[in-house]
Amino acid sequence: MKKKRSSTLALGGALFAGALAACGPTEDGVRAESPPPPRVVGTVHVVRDTSVQAAFEAAGVAAPLRQATLSTKLMGTVTEVLVQEGDDVAAGQPLVRLDARDLTAKESQVAASVAEAEAVHQDAVVQAARIRALYTDSAATRAQLDAVETGLARAAAGLRAARASAAELGAVSSYAVIRAPFAGLVTRRFVDPGAFAAPGAPLVAVQDAARLRITATAAPDVVRGLRRGQSIDATIEGQPVRATVEGVVPAASGNVYTVNALVANPGRAILAGSAATLALPMAPRAALVVPAAAVRREGDLTGVTLRTASGDETRWVRLGRTAGAVVEVSAGLRAGDQVVVPAASAAPSPGADTLDWRE
């Protein structure tokens, strides 16, 4: 029994000595350490304090610059509706036609009246010329001359009245055909053939979304530096765009101002009525920024790869505005930190369990 206990103690001592040798100094007197964790392949960016242009995010709506609901001044039956909702139309294109047969009959009457007035006026001109010549030769009296001059004046007035009636009838007749006031898109069709159109009742709605107007409100100290024609940043449904300030006016109520800004919309790529935000510039301020390519996202979390003396680690951060290729970091980093921008070849391939790197 004693011999067996001695063997057990000897084996335990050998194991303890081996453990001390593994953790103790080497022959050179230096403690052996485990290798550092692998580092992310990429470019190191040193975070520094940067002066950024502060901006106030004013929410608004991107509405069409031009939109119109068309009606008529006539009362009559709709004979044709030449467009459907969603149709593209050119300026001046006919959209709706009304029954205008009574106007056609009146046009004939007015044309006859104009012809009669022209004949009377022409006869008055001839008579006036004859009497003037006779008066010059003392063959006509002053009373005859005054009478013929009065007749000429009345004939001229009658001709002008007949022509004015014809012009008025032409203007009224134009309301029998509803035309597009500008090139755009038909958004509403209110009537069908056979419907009765009354003065002022809506028939067709058209909008021109080639340019959009973003309308937002802000406090006076925010809009004080804005000028007409100034270019500012904006977003429409999350898509960054450039907007041009159209004007700044007092709002209808409250101590706020309304800012109108125009955005080009070629091809109507942006839908009218979309939610929009104007980035109204304010005084510059200090901030920390990192390359947008360094940001990694995992669900609702955003983070960066932080390089430290002990290796690379993930640091979750809170982001601010994005300006071009950089993004503001409002929390999680401090000046002097080193952030790794991963190389393109080191980016993980898309998959359900991979991180999503975005610029």
Q: What is the mean pLDDT of residues 218-228?
A: 88
User: Count of CB atoms within 10 A of residue 4's CB?
Assistant: 7
Position 80 pLDDT exceeds 60: yes
- The amino acid at residue 274 is S
Name the token pair of 277. Answer: 């935000």
Instruction: Average the pLDDT over each of 28-32, 38-42, 177-181, 218-222 and give the range with the smallest value.
Output: 28-32
**pLDDT at site 338:** 85
Q: If pLDDT is split at 50, 70 and 90, which confidence band does 289 have?
A: confident
Q: If pLDDT is split at 50, 70 and 90, which confidence band does 247 have?
A: very high
Return the higher-pLDDT residue of 253 and 357. 253
Q: What is the mean pLDDT of residues 228-238?
A: 91
DSSP β-ladder status, 76-81 and 296-298: unpaired
**pLDDT at site 33:** 57
% of the chain with per-residue pLDDT over 90: 37
Q: What is the mean pLDDT of residues 253-267?
A: 89
Position 349 pLDDT exceeds 60: no
Q: Which residues contact 268 (CB under 8 A, 6 or more apart)?
A: 185, 209, 210
Position 22 pLDDT exceeds 90: no
CB of 219 closer than 8 Å to CB of 256: yes
Nearest Cα to Cα of residue 261 among 275, 250, 274, 248: 248
Angstrom distance (rounded) from CA 279 to CA 58? 6
The radius of gyration of the chain from alpha carbons, rounded to an integer in Å, stands at 43
Report pLDDT digits (tens) over 269-279: 888 889 999 99
Angstrom distance (rounded) from CA 203 to CA 182? 16
Angstrom distance (rounded) from CA 196 to CA 96? 12
Nearest Cα to Cα of residue 290 among 272, 308, 303, 278: 303
Angstrom distance (rounded) from CA 312 to CA 320? 24
User: Count of CB atoms within 10 A of residue 250's CB?
Assistant: 11
**pLDDT at site 36:** 60
Nearest Cα to Cα of residue 188 among 102, 63, 333, 67: 67
Q: Is the pTM higher than 0.75?
A: no
In the chain, the domains with their CATH numbers are: 42-52+285-357 (2.40.420.20), 57-66+209-281 (2.40.30.170), 101-174 (1.10.287)
Position 351 pLDDT exceeds 50: no
Angstrom distance (rounded) from CA 223 to CA 250? 10
The H-assigned helical ranges of the chain are 2-23, 101-136, 142-174, 220-223
State the chain's mean pLDDT as an integer. Answer: 81
Q: What is the mean pLDDT of residues 182-205?
A: 93
Position 358 pLDDT exceeds 50: no
Position 141 pLDDT exceeds 50: yes
Instruction: Average the pLDDT over each of 50-54, 141-145, 328-332 and give the range with the smallest value.
Output: 50-54
Residues paired with 280 in a beta bridge: 56
Q: What is the mean pLDDT of residues 248-277?
A: 89
Angstrom distance (rounded) from CA 281 to CA 329? 19
Report pLDDT digits (tens) over 94-140: 999 998 887 777 777 888 888 999 999 999 999 999 999 988 888 88
